[in-house]
Amino acid sequence: MAKSIADNTDLRLKTVLHVLTEGVWSGGSLNAGEVLAEATARVPFSDHEATLLSGGIPRGHKTLTSATAKLVKAGWLVKGRSGWTITDDGMRATVAFPDADSFATALDAGTPVPADVAIPPAPAPAAAAAPAAKAAPAKKAPAKRTPAKKAADAVGKAAKAIEDAVEPVVKAVRSRKAAPTAAAKAATKAAPKAKAEAPAVETFPQPGAVAVAGDFNTILGAPENWAPQYDEAQLTLDALDQLWKISADLPAGSYTFKIALNRSWDENYGAFGTFDGPNHELHHDGGTVTIRYDHRTRDITIN
């Protein structure tokens, strides 16, 4: 079972590079979620991989998201604020390591792409069909729409299932909050004043506290890492744009973290705003970095 999961994940990682390469050829762009969705559509989850974890995310999706860090480490993928970008070496890797086994071996061993491997060119556009040939696809179009519609329905049902699985967990977590925290009370008292100063600002229900809990909390001055209870890890709510923010000077390096609410792990959000999802990743060149959390989407931005 473990080998099968690893094999499927490696094949999906290779597919991620293929999807991004096709995006380069077409001049289009896909965000990280769309790239992962396409990779899992081409290499579907097994029954075991499709089982939902506590956060309502399929096991295989969480495994794949975490495994993409290997593509970054190999220098084949860059994860930026605007999305994922494949490097020239990443495109060449799809040619240098054509099958799943050689690709996985090279990725795990850190094997560089041979210098004589060229970047794969975009496929030649299909020749224009004769007028008579064009009529045939038009007649077949209704038949092609049926499986596509079924696939779309299946994706929609899967997304709805994930939402339905997550919502009770989130509601249960929030219902356990016996009383508002001091920060929440302060925010409530401050609300009329903020409204008076900027009546056009749209407010949104906010948690009592938001922390960035990760492997760099001690750099921020906290006693330990991955500890959302400490003051040093807390973000500050900006009443104007309704975003929680924290700025800090971090040494160059790669970091991981999650957003945790109300100084505990009861309610936390990872990549793509997923409840109890995979870790956010920060690949930093060094210097000041600002992390913003939007409670409306449960997601972050970094700059």
pLDDT digits (tens, 9 = 90+) for 206-245: 999 999 999 999 999 999 999 999 999 999 999 999 999 9
> Higher model confidence: residue 36 or residue 170?
36
What pLDDT is recorded for position 143? 47
The CA-based angle 281-285-290, given to 5 degrees, is: 65
The CA-based angle 273-191-240, given to 5 degrees, is: 55
As a whole number, mean pLDDT of residues 267-277 equals: 88
Portions of the chain given CATH number 1.10.10: 2-109
Q: Is the pLDDT of residue 287 over 70?
A: yes
Q: Among 114, 302, 267, which residue's Cα sits nearest to residue 106?
A: 114
As a whole number, mean pLDDT of residues 270-275 equals: 88
Q: Is the pLDDT of residue 152 over 50?
A: no
**Per-residue CA distances from 4 to 8, 60, 84 (Å):** 6, 11, 27
Q: Is the pLDDT of residue 181 over 60?
A: no
Q: Is the pLDDT of residue 1 over 90?
A: no
As a whole number, mean pLDDT of residues 153-160 equals: 54
**CB-based contacts of 100: which residues, under 8 Å, 6+ apart?**
7, 10, 11, 14
- Residues 88-142: tens digit of each pLDDT: 999 999 999 999 899 999 999 999 999 999 999 998 876 655 555 555 555 554 4
Portions of the chain given CATH number 2.60.40.10: 182-302
Position 166 confidence tier, pLDDT thresholds 50, 70, 90: low
What DSSP designation does 38 have? Answer: H
Q: Which of 172-176, 181-185, 212-216 has the highest mean pLDDT?
A: 212-216
What pLDDT is recorded for position 82? 62
**Helix ranges (DSSP H) in the chain:** 2-26, 32-42, 47-50, 59-73, 88-96, 100-109, 131-175, 182-197
What pLDDT is recorded for position 19? 94
What pLDDT is recorded for position 197? 52
Using a CB cutoff of 8 Å and minimum separation of 24, what contacts does 26-35 make? 29/83, 30/83, 30/84, 31/83, 31/84, 32/79, 32/83, 32/84, 32/271, 32/272, 33/272, 35/84
In the numeric block, which tokens belong to residue 91? 């495109």
Out of 3.40.50, 2.60.200, 1.10.3470, 1.10.10, the CATH code matching 2-109 is 1.10.10
Q: Say if pTM beats, i.e. exceeds, 0.75.
A: no
Classified by CATH at the fold level, domain 182-302 comes out as Immunoglobulin-like (2.60.40)
